Amino acid sequence: MGAFILFSFQFCIIFAENTINQENKFNMKRIIFLITAIILCSTTASAQLFKDRSTEAEPQYKVGTVPVVNGKVTFEEKIPAEGLSAAEITDRINGWIKNRYVEPTVISVKRYESEAPNTTIIKGEEYIVFRNTFFVLNRARIYYYLTITAADGYCTFNMSRITFWHDDEDEKGGIHMKAENWITDETAFNKKGKLKKHEGKFRRKTIDLKNQLVDEIKNVLK
């Protein structure tokens, strides 16, 4: 940045000398003002170029909001279902999956059989959208396993094995990322305790999706 400012200053001096020699109309105060203005603009532009893009984390994304269990990002929550049996909860969860996991809301869903009673396991694939305007669509695919285990009066929500695919629509290129390497407290925050630009947006959208899924399940169990 110092070299850029020095170049700007030298340019202004040459410009000023040529202006004085050719026109002899500008006084020195106006020349100094011109030099100062250009240097300030150059400094501001350079500062923006090297600006720290990290941000303060909102409360819902702060340190501790992405749990790591046995080295894996795992969201787990107990969801109440007062007055419902385990079988009734399972039936409602199956209906929710059938209604929610359809295009264009999601890309795909795969169900897995479980030997445990009243346990539902799926693998979901959908988009998380960072920016969607007329000119720009910035999004990534998120993959996750959802395990919902029902018991009388409640169920346990478990979201794990989370990965991302970014910058390619057909998965032939782009970047494949594991949540453990991207959205944890250790990887998403810088030394100043702020969320990094790229890791932060994945952390936010993953937590948002988890909260959305939990809220939807709470609604179907009311």
Asked whether the whole model's pTM tops 0.85, one would answer no
Q: pLDDT digits over 103-124, tens only?
A: 887 999 999 999 999 999 999 9
Q: pLDDT digits over 15-45, tens only?
A: 555 554 555 555 565 656 556 655 555 444 4
59-220 is classed in which CATH architecture?
2-Layer Sandwich (3.30)
Inter-CA distances, 69 with 66, 143, 212, Å:
10, 18, 21
Q: pLDDT digits over 138-194, tens only?
A: 999 999 999 999 999 999 999 999 999 987 555 566 889 999 999 999 999 999 999
Q: What is the pLDDT of residue 51?
A: 46
SS3 42: helix
Question: How many CB atoms are closer than 10 A to CB 93?
Answer: 25
Q: What is the pLDDT of residue 78?
A: 98
Average pLDDT over the chain, rounded to an integer:
84
pLDDT at 72 over 90: yes
